[in-house]
């Protein structure tokens, strides 16, 4: 890399792309210069927003190939829907193979893919392309998480022993686009959509700073899934009204609750436990990320809704519904939590800064497509466990071809 700045192109211009843009104000050494979406108006609106935020002179591209070929684009952030992930990656690789462009890196949103077979193809494609690659798990970069991990390991674990239990949860009242609710398109229900965060952040907290991810090893997974809310007749009607006729939770529900326990061991075969839970059936102020880590003489807790800033709105404040206070906001009155800089506090800012620095330095990020594949393998093992109602040793046979019943439209929620 000869120049000191990167030009970044976004593939996809939806909800998560907007978070990335907000976060980009805190990212140095890179400008957002391109946006591709099959919906040109969306791509243009996102490019205009990038210019408005002064994070780059972005323009909309008509195709992925055109964006790859543009001389100002050095790396891509893959932010399209899960069911387009492989196709998006294939288009990028085909463009590169035909001699277009000079990309150096690619960063991919969670989940890496819908199942293990697809995740493996993502890894194969990226390795064949020779690109540097990153897996975008924002929560691992959240300042509360990285600072908490640093202090916990330096001060407490160093004197009294490593942490042995991590509990992580992500919960909200349900996603914003129809495809998230459709098992086949998304790859599953809330387990695939959100447990990917909790699994990775819990593993991260239990891993000694600087140690490789293989320093702790998953042994077995036990999990459960359920549809607690959205397949109830009254709620499936509301869901269909809001999301369209393809989202029919009377016929093809997906889970809105999932929990899993993953047993790990450290290098000395000491047991470590990860407990994760996630739901689209949580009605609170908005998105709630929580984390607890326990060690022999210490514990750490974090809850994103325990924000330092709270706003009280009386019953006379009758504003329209929005997400201006907190992601997946459920109310516009009462005592509401507000995050001062949401994109930064969720980790998008530090995450993007990290991947930009890696790509500029020509360095392979440690959080990469292989990490995304391992997370997918753990999630698919969790689905296997839930379907078979038993604990499954990791890695189970048949993992490479396993597709959850939810993703096949064959899951019976009762
Ligand atoms: N890190 C996080 O916390 C987080 C949060 C939300 C979403 N995500 C992930 O980001 C991805 C996008 O989610 P979202 O919430 O932005 O979804 P969304 O439905 O809001 O937006 C999807 C975007 O993809 C575009 N798109 C549609 N077809 C496409 C195609 N063939 N190629 C490229 N783009 C296409 C759409 O036009 C839209 O702009 C998903 O994989 C999701 O899991 C991550």
DSSP string, 160-220: H----EEEEEEE-S--SSHHHH-HHHHSSSHHHHHHHHHHHHHHHHHSPTT--GGGSEEEE
Distance 390 CA to ligand 1 centre (A): 33
pLDDT above 90 coverage of the chain, percent: 98
pLDDT-derived band of residue 3, with 50, 70 and 90 as boundaries? low
DSSP string, 81-135: -GGGHHHHHHHHHHHHHTT-----EEEEESSS-SSHHHHHHHHHHHHHHT-EEEE
225 contacts 243 by C-beta, under 8 angstroms:
no
Q: Environment class of residue 144 by beta-carbon count within 10 Å: exposed (0-12), middle (13-18) or buried (19+)?
A: middle
pLDDT tens across 337-385, in order?
A: 999 999 999 999 999 999 999 999 999 999 999 999 999 999 999 999 9
Evaluate: CB of 81 within 6 angstroms of ligand 1: yes
Looking at residue 319, what DSSP letter applies? P
* pLDDT reported for residue 4: 86
Evaluate: CB of 12 within 6 angstroms of ligand 1: yes
Distance 330 CA to ligand 1 centre (A): 22
Evaluate: CB of 39 within 6 angstroms of ligand 1: yes
* pLDDT reported for residue 414: 79
Evaluate: CB of 37 within 6 angstroms of ligand 1: yes
pLDDT tens across 102-161, in order?
A: 999 999 999 999 999 999 999 999 999 999 999 999 999 999 999 999 999 999 999 999
Core vs surface per residue 208-235: b (16+ CB within 10 A) or e: beeeeeeebebeebbbbbbbebbbeeeb
* pLDDT reported for residue 304: 95
Residue 196 φ/ψ, nearest 5 degrees: -55, -40
Residue 99 φ/ψ region, left for φ over 0, alpha for ψ in the -120 to 50 degree band, beta for the rest: left
With the most atoms of ligand 1 within 8 angstroms of its CB, the residue from 16, 89, 122, 134 to mutate is 16
Evaluate: CB of 46 within 6 angstroms of ligand 1: no
Q: Given the DSSP bridges, would you call strands 165-171 and 271-279 parallel, antiparallel or unpaired?
A: parallel
Evaluate: CB of 293 within 6 angstroms of ligand 1: no
Evaluate: CB of 38 within 6 angstroms of ligand 1: yes
pLDDT tens across 74-111, in order?
A: 999 999 999 999 999 999 999 999 999 999 999 999 99
With the most atoms of ligand 1 within 8 angstroms of its CB, the residue from 20, 47, 80 to mutate is 80
pLDDT for residue 198 is more than 60: yes
pLDDT for residue 2 is more than 80: no
How would you list the strands of the sheet with 298-303, edge to edge? 298-303, 288-295, 165-171, 271-279, 257-265, 217-226, 392-393
Mean pLDDT of the chain: 97
pTM: 0.97
pLDDT tens across 222-241, in order?
A: 999 999 999 999 999 999 99
């Amino acid at each position: 890399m000869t120049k000191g700045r990167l030009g970044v192109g976004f593939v996809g211009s939806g909800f998560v792309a907007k978070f990335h843009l907000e976060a980009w104000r805190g990212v140095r050494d890179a400008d957002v210069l391109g946006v591709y979406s099959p919906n040109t108006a969306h791509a243009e609106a996102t490019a205009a927003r990038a210019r408005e935020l002064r994070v780059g002179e972005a323009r909309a591209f008509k195709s992925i190939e055109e964006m790859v070929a543009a001389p100002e684009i050095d790396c891509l952030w893959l932010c399209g829907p899960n069911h387009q992930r492989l196709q998006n990656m294939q288009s990028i690789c085909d463009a590169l193979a035909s001699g277009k462009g000079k990309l150096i890196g690619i960063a991919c949103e969670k989940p890496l893919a819908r199942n293990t077979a697809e995740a493996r193809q993502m890894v194969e494609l990226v390795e064949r392309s020779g690109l540097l690659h990153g897996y975008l798990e924002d929560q691992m970069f959240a300042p509360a998480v990285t600072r908490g991990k640093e202090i916990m390991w330096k001060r407490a674990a160093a004197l009294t022993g490593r942490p042995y239990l991590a509990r992580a949860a992500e919960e909200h009242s349900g996603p914003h686009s129809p495809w998230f609710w459709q098992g086949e398109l998304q790859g599953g229900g809330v387990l695939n959509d959100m447990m990917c965060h909790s699994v990775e952040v819990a593993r991260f907290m239990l891993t000694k700073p600087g140690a490789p991810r293989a320093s702790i090893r998953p042994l077995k997974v036990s999990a459960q899934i359920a549809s607690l809310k959205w397949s109830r007749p009254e709620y499936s009607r509301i869901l269909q009204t809001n999301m369209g006729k393809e989202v029919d939770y009377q016929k093809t529900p997906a889970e809105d609750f999932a929990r899993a326990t993953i047993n790990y061991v450290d290098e000395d075969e000491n047991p470590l436990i990860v407990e994760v839970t996630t739901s689209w059936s949580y009605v609170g102020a908005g998105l709630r990320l929580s984390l607890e880590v326990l060690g022999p003489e210490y514990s750490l807790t974090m809850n994103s809704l325990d924000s330092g800033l709270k706003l009280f709105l009386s019953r006379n404040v009758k504003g329209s519904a929005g997400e201006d206070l907190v992601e997946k906001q459920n109310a516009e009155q009462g005592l509401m939590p507000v995050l001062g800089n949401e994109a930064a506090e969720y980790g998008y800012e530090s995450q993007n800064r990290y991947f930009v620095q890696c790509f500029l330095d020509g360095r392979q990020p440690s959080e990469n497509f292989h990490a995304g594949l391992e997370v997918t393998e753990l999630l698919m093992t969790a689905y296997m466990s839930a379907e078979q109602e038993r604990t499954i040793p990791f890695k189970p046979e048949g993992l490479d071809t396993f597709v959850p019943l939810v993703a096949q439209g064959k899951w019976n929620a009762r």
